[in-house]
């Protein structure tokens, strides 16, 4: 079945640094979604991408839909302590979402 692989698995950065993470798939997706999850809470939708090559921003977050439709990237600029959490990519498959394993971000003040 379809699988999404996220890298890196975890990151530990200094406040103010930029962050980049990616998500790759063995098959094509027509939509890419990026979620953030805080401990003990449900995932919160950050950005949705619908078109190959699309670049979309949400505040300090920017995400790109890869040209091959098999990958997507999420960048966070000027990180702050509240960026701490787990970031998941997800793609739809017949209605349901397939999730990656997540990238855990820790920010040192």
Partner 1 sequence: DTGVSQDPRHKITKRGQNVTFRCDPISEHNRLYWYRQTLGQGPEFLTYFQNEAQLEKSRLLSDRFSAERPKGSFSTLEIQRTEQGDSAMYLCASSQWASGPGNEQFFGPGTRLTVL
Binding stretches for partner 1 (CB under 8 A):
4, 30-31, 33, 35, 40-45, 48, 50-51, 88, 90, 92, 94-102
Q: Which is nearer to partner 1, 50 or 80 (CB)?
A: 50
Report CA torsion sign: 53, 36, 84, 12. negative
In the complex, what is the shortest distance from the CB of residue 21 to partner 1, in angstroms, rounded to a whole number? Answer: 14
For partner 1, give the closer residue by CB, 10 or 18. 10
Taking alpha carbons only, the member of 83, 71, 86 closest to residue 26 is 71
Q: Which is nearer to partner 1, 14 or 94 (CB)?
A: 94
Q: Whole-number minimum distance, CB 31 to partner 1, in Å? A: 6
Shortest Å distance, C-beta 53 to partner 1? 14
Please give, one letter per residue, the 3-state secondary structure of 48-97.
EECCCCCEEEECCEEEEECCCCCEEEEEECCCCHHHCEEEEEEEEECCEE
* Nearest approach, Cβ of residue 55 and partner 1 (Å): 16
Distances (CA, A) of 89 to 49, 96, 108: 11, 13, 24
């Amino acid at each position: 079945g379809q699988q999404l692989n996220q890298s890196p698995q975890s990151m530990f950065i200094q406040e103010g640094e930029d962050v980049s993470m990616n998500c790759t798939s063995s098959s094509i997706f027509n939509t890419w979604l990026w979620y953030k999850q805080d401990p003990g809470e449900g995932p919160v939708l950050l950005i949705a991408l619908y078109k190959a090559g699309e670049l979309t921003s949400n505040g300090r977050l920017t995400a790109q839909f890869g040209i091959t439709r098999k990958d997507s990237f999420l960048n966070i600029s000027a990180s702050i302590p509240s960026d701490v959490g787990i970031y998941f990519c997800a793609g739809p498959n017949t209605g349901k979402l397939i999730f990656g394993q997540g990238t855990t971000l820790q920010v040192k003040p």
